Amino acid sequence: MVRKAAAWLLLAALLTFIPSRTAHAGVPTADNLIGGQSQTFTLTDQYNRPRTIAFPTDKPLVLMLGDRGGSEQIEPWVRELYQRYGDSIEIQGIAILRGVPAPIRPIIRSQLRSRAPKSVLLDWGGAIADMYRCQSEVCNVVVIDRQGRISTIVRGGVSPERARLVCQALDRIR
């Protein structure tokens, strides 16, 4: 558990050096996504291995999506959720890398390989960030049940109120 938290901390530190280009004027609220079905998608990780997120799953899934600014908020979320749930949930990080030029991508992958041994999915085009209506400069936490229904979406760093919302959702679906 400590290794996982350390890996996420390293990922957060690395992503602070990646330019943030996820801002969209008038990003709609995600409220109407709650209760809807999450789509299946495939992204590659820092090792260039494809990973498909599809349902049903064995455990509830928590996606943590963040750009450069949001990456700073990921590690406290991971620590909070692992302390409470351990391995009874799955947490998957997704780096929002919209706008990173193609020649720089191998450098990003290489840095992530050396600093984050746990798989981090790379959303180069921002399609997954758009699918969950992610906001820039904050961590976007998406809780999905085993069947793929979106249980809740919370944006921002860990706070008592946000943690309560995420934990209530996880307690309902575990």
Three-state SS for the chain is CHHHHHHHHHHHHHHCCCCCCCCCCCCCCCHHHCCCECCCEEEEECCCCEEEECCCCCCCEEEEEECHHHHCCHHHHHHHHHHHHHHHCEEEEEEECCCCCHHHHHHHHHHHHHHCCCCEEEECCCHHHHHCCCCCCCCEEEEECCCCEEEEEEECCCCHHHHHHHHHHHHHHC
Q: pLDDT of 38-49, one tens digit each?
A: 999 999 999 999
Lowest-confidence segment of 3-17, 54-68, 115-129, 158-172 by average pLDDT:
3-17
* Predicted local confidence at residue 45, as pLDDT: 97
Report the amino acid identity of residue 77: W
* Predicted local confidence at residue 29, as pLDDT: 53
How much is the mean pLDDT over the chain? 87
Q: Pairing between strand 150-155 and 90-96?
A: unpaired
Contacts 24+ apart (CB under 8 A), 31-37: 33/132, 33/133, 33/150, 33/153, 34/150, 34/151, 34/152, 34/153, 35/149, 35/150, 36/149, 36/150, 37/148, 37/149, 37/150
Angle subtended at Cα 72 by Cα 2 and Cα 43, rounded to the nearest 5 degrees: 80
Q: If you average pLDDT over residues 154-165, what whole number do you get?
A: 97
* Predicted local confidence at residue 68, as pLDDT: 86
* Predicted local confidence at residue 9, as pLDDT: 43
Q: Using CA atoms, how far apart are residues 21 and 27, in angstroms rounded to an integer?
A: 14
